[in-house]
Structure 1
Amino acid sequence: MTKESSQPAPSAGVHRVVVIVDENSNPFELGCATEVFGLRRPEIGRDLYDFRLCSPEPRTLMRDGFFTLTGVAGLEAADAADTLIVPNRPDTDTPHRPAVLDAVRRAHARGARLVGFCSGAFTLAEAGVLDGRRATAHWQWADSFRARFPSVHLASDVLFVDDGDILTAAGSAAALDLGLHVVRRDHGAEVANSVSRRLVFAAHRDGGQRQFVERPMPDLPDQSLAPVLAWAQEHLDTPLTVPDLAARAAVSPATLHRRFREQLGTTPLTWLTGERLALACRLIERGELRFETVARRSGLGTAANLRALMRRETGITPSAYKARFGPQAP
């Protein structure tokens, strides 16, 4: 790990993301945070975030003693975070250090955004910042979490929950989904797609998708949806229907629905709408000013439908999205 003394100075005005790493923390989620928020982005032409790791101790033993983390900032770095990613670890029954919980509470009190990956929801709940709020955690810990924190509204069958200033991801891989969601929220769909391409990871799996819970494997696995998804993404401007997708995949609509549920955790229509909306966002970011054209080229039909879907899915209108993420945006 890079020593704190050799890290570059923060760029003025760049959003600062700080990760607290504590004893027995999971390396995978730490890697996800580093990949999404910590890497330089020469392909974009600017730094998206100022990224820091911090720990309450000079030497931190990671999960199962895989390695020891040294040379990072002290816990005081959490007090400068715009977004604070809290520790997560497999032993959810062991109380967290009071100093770590105090850092989380201070960040919440001053309005920082809080993020918990996988068992990080336990950290947030233990700090008391999730009371009365929505959150998610890995499905294996759902019963334990509800028993310990009954005042938290736990959604145990989704990939991640965005509750405004507190965001939680269900499991290890869902950390990438939530990380890209945060990038999309901060910088728009075009930048998020660029980050996802570098990760070679799906640009958008909606937070409402179901977790892949444990279930028996079929004797004969279903054929991958990848070919029909790639074909559909090339024809979003055409009036595609679910029967069209089924015909392309050479299956019945019922079989297509089943494969979407099993492989993507969503329905064909929901996936198609999400892809069209993502394309509409990219068109706006690239400078298309006519919303009727955006709606037609993305397959959403009319500007009215575009406005309704964008407001429902992003919380803002196309005009507001253009002002925030368009070519002339500050």
Structure 2
Amino acid sequence: MLKTVAVLLIDKLAPFEFGVTCEVFGIDRTDDGVPAFEFLVCGERPGEPLSSTVPGVLMTPAHGLDALERADLVCVPAVDIRDEYPPAVLEALRAASARGATLLSVCSGAFVLAAAGLLNGRHCTTHWHHFEEFSARFPEAKVDPDVLFVDEGDLITSAGTAAGIDACLHLVRRELGSAVATAIARRMVVPPQRDGGQRQFVDQPIPECTADSLQPVLTWMLDNLAVEHTVAALSKRAQMSERTFARRFVAETGTTPHKWLSGQRVLRARALLEDTSLGVEEVARECGFGSAALLRHHFNRVVGVSPHDYRRTFATS
């Protein structure tokens, strides 16, 4: 169970990425049904201000590295990339990993985890801009520059800036269920779920004119998940050619209509499994999968467990 969250700060940290962890784990949202987290801001020398990547902005950790010893989750926000990191910090991360804590990095925080030797032989990601340098310095890490985040169970790494939000919400959803993750996302005014496999960027630029955004079509799809959707029908609704619609869809969502729709159907299935007593066949029909077998296939692929096992863990009694 995710109860205690420690954020590890070192000199020249990135305020926004640190702020991401604060927004998700550090703010009391118990009025919205979110469990209270014990939130610990840690550093090698507690009470000593640390510089940030923004001139004139200082951050002061209240706790020392010993606080990591009782954390369920240790977050490493982005920092200025350098040749070496404090040995005591690296050792504290190795110790946290060895005792079973989950580690999560945001953007260039992956460099710190890699310097500690924790990414050797593991799948991971970081900001695409740092991919070549990261690969050259840490050849044993299996880094993917295209995805938003990578979940390896006890190790979650994310790409730049907003992808850190996605990774944190993904972890909350994984550990505490979609209702809690959605409540946090609603307060942050961000999408409750973006698939980690989405590309960090797409070749087609998002159109500057928002008057013809696909948002009305996306909203309609969400309201009609049980309906069979084809690119031909959706492009007609959007008043575009099929080719233009497919290109714009990737530009706005980062994925194809089929993958986006499957992901939203799985998200809806999770909510129904948590909050209702509907049978798996009924959940499948409500979400548009048509059959329990198809639901199980997509659910296992995305969530990693069967609908039955998910309900047993997360169902609201």
TM-score range, shorter chain: over 0.9
Conserved in 1, the CA contact under 8 Å of 2:150 and 2:158? yes
Q: 2:184 matched to 1:198?
A: no
Pair 1:184-2:173 in alignment: yes
Match of 1:4 in 2: none
**Which ranges in structure 2 are unaligned for 5 or more consecutive residues?**
none
Counterpart among 4, 16, 27 of residue 16 in structure 1: 4
Aligned-residue offset at 1:327: 1.4
2:160 counterpart of 1:175: no
Deviation at 1:217, TM superposition (A): 5.4
Identity level (%):
42
Q: How does 1:251-290 map to 2 (within 5 A)?
A: 251-290=240-279
When normalised by structure 2's length, the TM-score is 0.94
Secondary structure of 1:210's aligned partner = coil
Partners of 1:206 and 1:159 lie apart in 2 by 8
**Cross-structure match for 2:18:** 30
Structure 1, unmatched stretches of 5+, are 1-12
| Aligned positions, number | 314
* 1:27–1:218 Cα change, 3 Å: closer
Distance 1:290 1:250 in 2: 38
3-state SS of paired residue (1:31): helix
What residue is the counterpart of 2:27 in the other structure?
A: 39
Q: Deviations over 1:237-273 (max 9, x none)?
A: 2222222221211112221211122222110110001
* Structure 1 residue 221: Cα displacement: 5.0
**Contact 1:14/1:50, CA 8 A, preserved across alignment:** no
Q: How far did 1:65 drift? A: 3.4
Which sits farther off after the overlay, 19-28 or 220-229? 220-229
Distance 2:206 2:110 in 1: 32
- 3-state SS, counterpart of residue 174 of structure 1: helix
Q: TM-score, normalised by structure 1?
A: 0.90
Per-residue Cα deviation, 1:275-307 (whole angstroms, up to 9, x for no partner):
111011101111233111111111111111111
Which position in structure 2 is the counterpart of 1:83? 73
**1:237 matched residue in structure 2:** 226
Report the RMSD for the aligned CA atoms in angstroms. 1.9
Which residue is 1:323 aligned to? Answer: 312
State the alpha-carbon separation in 2 of the partners of residues 282 and 324 from structure 1. Answer: 13
| Deviations, residues 44-64 of structure 1 (Å, cap 9, x unaligned) | 435252211111122222223
Structure 2: distance between partners of 1:164 and 1:48: 22
Is the 1:79–1:107 Cα contact (8 Å) retained in structure 2?
yes
Mapped pair 1:53 → 2:41:
yes
- The 1:60–1:93 alpha-carbon spacing in structure 2 relative to 1, beyond 3 Å, is closer
Alignment CA distance shift 1:317-1:104 (3 Å): same
User: 1-side partners of 2:87 and 2:164: how far apart?
Assistant: 25
Aligned residue number for residue 3 of structure 1: none
Q: Which amino acid aligns with 1:195?
A: I
- Following TM superposition, the consecutive aligned residue runs of length 4 or more in structure 1 with deviations greater than 4 angstroms are 215-222
Structure 2 match to 1:6: none
The answer for the alignment partner of 2:114 in structure 1 is 125
| CA separation of 1:126 and 1:306: change in aligned 2, threshold 3 A | same
